[in-house]
Amino acid sequence: METAAFSGYDKKSGIRWKVSNDENSLFLEFDTDNRGVQRNILIAGVKIYIDTTGKKKEGMYLHYPYREGGMRERPDMRPPQDEGMEFGAGPDRQQAVQRMTIRIPGKALWVSGDGEYHMDLQLEKTDFSGSIAFDSAGYLIYHASIPLKLIFPAGRSRGIPFACGIAAEGIIRSPGIESDGFGGTRGSGQGGFPGSGQGGGNYGGGQGRGQGGGPPAGQRPSGSISSGTEIWFQTELAKPGITNH
C-alpha cells in the first residue's frame, strides 16, 4: 500500500479515506483490511453521499457497484481452480483471498433529488468512474469519481464546506453459502444502515429449506447479520492536485 496523505480514518471499519479534485471531478479513494466491511462492499456496494448544505441528507449519491438483481448479480469470488484450497482460517485464508479472481460489476447508479441515472462504467463512456481492487497486503482499495457539474450545477464552490458519506449496508451471512468466504445476502431494513436500498434486501440465494424454499413467514433466516458502515465527514474543494481536508 503506497504512502498517502489520507483525509480521515474510521477505527471501527478500518476505512481510511482521501478526497481530492481537479477542475472537473471529485475523487474519493478509501481502503480497508476489515474482512466484514470488505464483504459488505463487494456484495451490497457502496453509496457515496454528498450534501452540499453540509448536513447529512441522503438525497444525492453515487451507488457503486450497483446490482439490480441483488444476489443474482453477486461478484464471482472463487479462488483460481488450480489453487486446490478452501477458505479456512489463518494464513491459507489470507493467501487465498489475495489470489482471488474478482469480477466486480461495472454498473453504477447516480441519484440526485428525484432523478436517477443508471450506467455501466465498463460498457459506456461517462464522466463517472469507479474501481475496486485488492493489493498484496489484502487491503480492498476503492476509487470513484463524480463530475463536479452534477454536484454544483450552479458552479464550483471552492472554500465552502460540504458533507460526504461512505455507506455500505450490512448483509445476512448464511452458513449454507459461506464456502467462498464472502457468502451472504443483503440485509433487510432492520439489518442495514438507514436508507439502504429500496424495500430492503432479499433473503434468497437459491438454497431453499424444506419444501418452502425459504424460512417460514415471520421468521428470520438462519445466519448472522453483519453490521453496516456509515461514515460522514466534512470536506471542501481544493486546488486541483491537492488532497482535501
Instruction: List pLDDT tens digits, range 8-57.
Output: 999 999 999 999 999 999 999 999 999 999 999 998 899 999 999 999 99
Cβ distance 237 to 159 under 8 Å? yes
Instruction: List pLDDT tens digits, range 97-135.
Output: 544 445 677 899 999 988 999 999 988 899 999 999 999
% of the chain with per-residue pLDDT over 70: 58
% of the chain with per-residue pLDDT over 90: 44
- What lies within 8 Å, CB to CB, of 23 at 6+ separation is 148, 240
What global pTM score does this model have? 0.69
pLDDT-based confidence at residue 245 (cuts at 50, 70, 90): low
- The domain ranges of the chain are 8-171+227-235
What's the Cα-to-Cα distance from 130 to each of 40, 106, 141, rounded to whole Å?
17, 8, 11
Report residue 173: phi and psi, to 5°. -95, 110
Residue 124 is placed in which grid cell? Answer: 459506456
- pLDDT in the model for residue 5: 65
Q: Whole-number mean pLDDT of the chain? A: 73
Residue indicated by cell numbers 453496516: 228
Instruction: List pLDDT tens digits, range 145-160.
Output: 999 999 998 886 777 8
Least confident of 52-61, 88-97, 182-191: 182-191
User: Which is nearest to 43 in space by CA: 140, 111, 122?
Assistant: 140
